[in-house]
Amino acid sequence: MERRMLSRSALFAAACVAACAQGVYKNANSPKDGVCPLVQADKSDLNFGTAFAHPFVERSDNPSNGTSVDSTAGLKGADSVGKAYYQQGDYNFPLGQRRDVSPFTAYDAKALGTSVASLKGKVVLVGLWSTRCDPSARMLLEMAQLYPKGPQYGFQILAVNFDLNQQDGGDEGGIEGGWRAINKFMIKNRSFFEASHMPVYTPGLGKEGASNFMPTVQSLPALFVIDRQGHLASIHIGYKDGFVGEALKHTLLEKAQPAAPPAPVK
């Protein structure tokens, strides 16, 4: 019996280490904050026999511009340092300096994929959100208001959940993500999703993932605007009133690039 309990603790510890290495998103510190930081914990000399505290690291102040906060919160009995990473700002890329992000793919609840490549000719908004992030919920509201106008104005919205795809750890403080958490969130907010008819997605992995946009997404919400050629036009990190519509409008009003002349026949 004792060996079975120890084995269960060891398995949970391994899962928690993997989760914290990837990071989880902590909700905004106050209603006025526009971002939910990515919290990561680096651990060593883990004692599998000890009890686990909640893996979130409490925020000790309000840094910005990519600074981090170190804390000793996390696992009891382990050498643990938690870091909360913040990003916030707008980044616009001029024509001719945009990279191709067409491999990115969003998957619905039936595992059917929609790639940026399949939407060429449209402006595409990819909004990353979390069920545990109030600012990203406000982004969803703005996206839902714009969603019905997509066919008329030539754009597509992909509301992509960016929570970790894990199961609930119950009393031991696990992090729940993936479709299990999304479905609970949608049931809790049933009236919103039924009225908006806006689908939600999870991101592809590897070459289909969010690394097309940036190496690490350190804060949510994150909005990526993709031009009609499947190239990344702008990045907007952190919620501000009306920012979804403004970002969309800027790219929609761009003039279509002329087609390249045919190569001369040799």
Task: Give domain limits for the chain.
Answer: 2-85, 89-252
Q: Is 31 helix (H, G, I), strand (E, B) or coil?
A: coil
Q: Quote the CA–CA distance of 59 and 69 in Å, as a whole number.
A: 7
- Residues 158-168 have pLDDT tens digits of 999 998 754 44
- pTM strictly above 0.75: no
User: What angle separates helix 243-252 from helix 134-146, to the nearest 10 degrees?
Assistant: 50
- The neighbour count for residue 254, using CB atoms within 10 Å, is 12
**How is residue 266 written in tokens?**
């040799």
- Residues 54-105 have pLDDT tens digits of 333 333 333 334 433 333 334 444 445 567 888 889 999 999 999 999 999 9
Q: Determine whether domain 89-252 maps to CATH 3.40.30.10.
A: yes
Q: Which helix (H) or strand (E) holds 248?
A: helix 243-252
- Residues 129-176 have pLDDT tens digits of 999 899 999 999 999 999 999 999 999 999 999 987 544 444 445 566
